[in-house]
Amino acid sequence: MTAARVSYDEAMEDFDPVFGIEVHVELNTKTKMFCGCANEFGAEPNTQVCPVCLGLPGSMPVTNEKAVESAIRLGLALGCSIRESSRFARKNYFYPDLAKDYQISQYDEPTCYEGSLDVVLDDGTVVEIGIERAHMEEDAGKNTHVGGSGGIQGASHSLVDYNRGGVPLVEIVTKPITGMGERTAEVARAYVATIRDIVRALGISDGRMDQGSVRADVNLSLRAKAPAGEDQDAVPFGKRSETKNVNSLRAIERAIHFEAGRQAALLSDGKPVVQETRHWHEDTEETTPGRSKEEAEDYRYFPEPDLLPVEPSREWVEELRGTIPEHPAKQRARLKDEWGFSDLEMRDVVAADAVPVLIATVEAGATPQAARKWWMGELARVANDQGVSLDELSVTPAEVAELQSLVDSGRINDKLARQALQGVLAGEGSPTAVVEARGLEVVSDDSALEKAVDEALAAQPDVLQKIQDGKVQAAGAIVGAVMKATRGQADAGRVREIILQRAGVEG
């Protein structure tokens, strides 16, 4: 049964929203958090498992140093303090995807705490989001429900693949975010997008929400609006719901819209909001109740006896601080100025995830406009056809810059450059090698061009007459014929000059 709800706008008119977001980031380490099993998506089920991640008796976890490094770098990028001594804790609960019946996480001593992150909205407004903590933990396995409609309801039994069990995660928890009013959904979306951009810029995760590499849980509550002139912060928070696994940017906005409308309808009706976990349904864009929210004490956290404290030296932390890239939104603003792109051009480049390849192409010597032309044009089409991202294409930014330099030097024209690019993508070698092997160079030898022009003019005497009568634009037909005869390898401008010379008229 669909719950009664009002529109998001109505909810925002009548109530003051408070929200918080937990983001889980799957790290792209080669191995799992506590064992040497490969951390790779898409393998055959239960082929990346060992006694440690299967929770077999007597096995002992050992921390992955790279995962610790990634967690600290992420914490630093979020402006967090890095605890001098932090430890792991066991979070105890029963679920089939949790082999050990506890998850190794961090509880009272997370490695990263007390940070803040600037989030830039589409209109340029900057919102500062408080970060409560960022802690390390391990992922669970994957359940597949069999029978029924494939969901958990009506399933006859379930099957578990533990390949993902033990994959390193960093969970980032915000402080309660207040005062956003009707911009709540927009801020929530922008926050998660910023986290995604940061983990990509750090190179610690592929940030792919569609593959679950970045997952968000959205907490939302509504409270009464303070009477005019009174302090809104004096009004206590309402009961919150926690919507789990909201795994796309659009879904984050939609989930907040739905929850705000649902809670507002209950409160307006004098009914209580139940503090609970809710599930997000991508198809209907609705949430449904899950279990009542467990209290932290139900998890019976206690220090993990099998792992030693993590005590990163201050020198190491400072060294890692030196590797933190520029904030993605600030970098974009800077690049837009440096590159001289319009708002629209920059937005398209960002939307296409083309910023890193453009930076590399410009560094390799191409102009920003040339880099943009290739990556947002021909290469974007090829990437789309192949279903891969730009950086997965079999052409490097340096090769794109090389291709453009061949055009700039006049060795090839744009049309030949596209053919050369096909060769590079097909694995035929560098742009220069493809141009040479395929014989793609522009015919710059005037005698060859003159011969081709003479032949074309002889074949179309009426056109020659028109040109001589002053209809210079008629030369286009001859240019076309010459380009055809030279298989596109002529410089069209030069061909035109020769035609006009031959016709005895001035261009």
Name the site residues for another protein (rule: CB under 8 A).
29-31, 35-38, 44-51, 54, 56, 62-68, 85, 87, 92, 94-97, 140, 143-146, 151-152, 155-162, 277, 279, 290-291, 298, 300, 303, 305, 308-312
CB of 22 to another protein, least distance (A): 16
Residue 210: DSSP 8-state: G
CB of 50 to another protein, least distance (A): 5
Nearer to another protein, 89 or 188 (CB): 89
Nearer to another protein, 11 or 140 (CB): 140
Q: Which of 255, 219, 253, 215 is nearest to 239 (CA)?
A: 219
Region of 104 (left: φ > 0; alpha: ψ -120 to 50; beta: rest) is beta
Query: Please, are residues 170 and 71 in contact by the beta-carbon 8 Å criterion?
Result: yes
Nearer to another protein, 112 or 383 (CB): 112
d(CA 129, CA 148): 43
Nearer to another protein, 111 or 413 (CB): 111
Nearer to another protein, 67 or 442 (CB): 67
Per-residue tokens: 329: 């939104």
CB of 224 to another protein, least distance (A): 31
Query: Please, are residues 115 and 131 in contact by the beta-carbon 8 Å criterion?
Result: yes
Q: Which of 356, 26, 397 is nearest to 206 (CA)?
A: 26
Nearer to another protein, 2 or 157 (CB): 157
CB of 375 to another protein, least distance (A): 32
CB of 448 to another protein, least distance (A): 58
DSSP code per residue over 176-238: PB-S-GGGHHHHHHHHHHHHHHHHHHHTS----GGGTSEEEEEEEEEEEPPPTTS-GGGSPP-
Please name every residue paired with 31 in a beta bridge, in sequence order, or none if there are none: 38
Per-residue tokens: 399: 């090769």
Q: Which of 72, 198, 80 is nearest to 133 (CA)?
A: 80
Query: Please, are residues 242 and 217 in contact by the beta-carbon 8 Å criterion?
Result: yes
Residue 310: DSSP 8-state: B
Nearer to another protein, 45 or 365 (CB): 45
CB of 15 to another protein, least distance (A): 28
Please name every residue paired with 25 in a beta bridge, in sequence order, or none if there are none: 170, 214
CB of 294 to another protein, least distance (A): 9
DSSP code per residue over 317-333: HHHHHTTPPPPHHHHHH
CB of 174 to another protein, least distance (A): 24
* Cβ neighbours of residue 300 closer than 8 Å, sequence gap 6 or more: 92
CB of 303 to another protein, least distance (A): 3
CB of 65 to another protein, least distance (A): 4
CB of 256 to another protein, least distance (A): 20
d(CA 293, CA 274): 9
Strand ranges, E, within 420-464: none
Nearer to another protein, 143 or 432 (CB): 143
Nearer to another protein, 160 or 433 (CB): 160
CB of 110 to another protein, least distance (A): 15
Nearer to another protein, 104 or 117 (CB): 104
d(CA 64, CA 458): 77
Nearer to another protein, 87 or 257 (CB): 87
Per-residue tokens: 446: 């005037």
What is residue 430's three-state secondary structure?
Answer: coil
How far does Cα 154 stand from its chain's mean position? 36
DSSP code per residue over 89-117: EEEE---TT-TTSEEEE--SS-SEEEEEE
Nearer to another protein, 312 or 488 (CB): 312
User: In angstroms, how far apart are the furthest CA atoms of the chain?
Assistant: 97
What is residue 499's three-state secondary structure?
Answer: helix
Per-residue tokens: 96: 């089939």
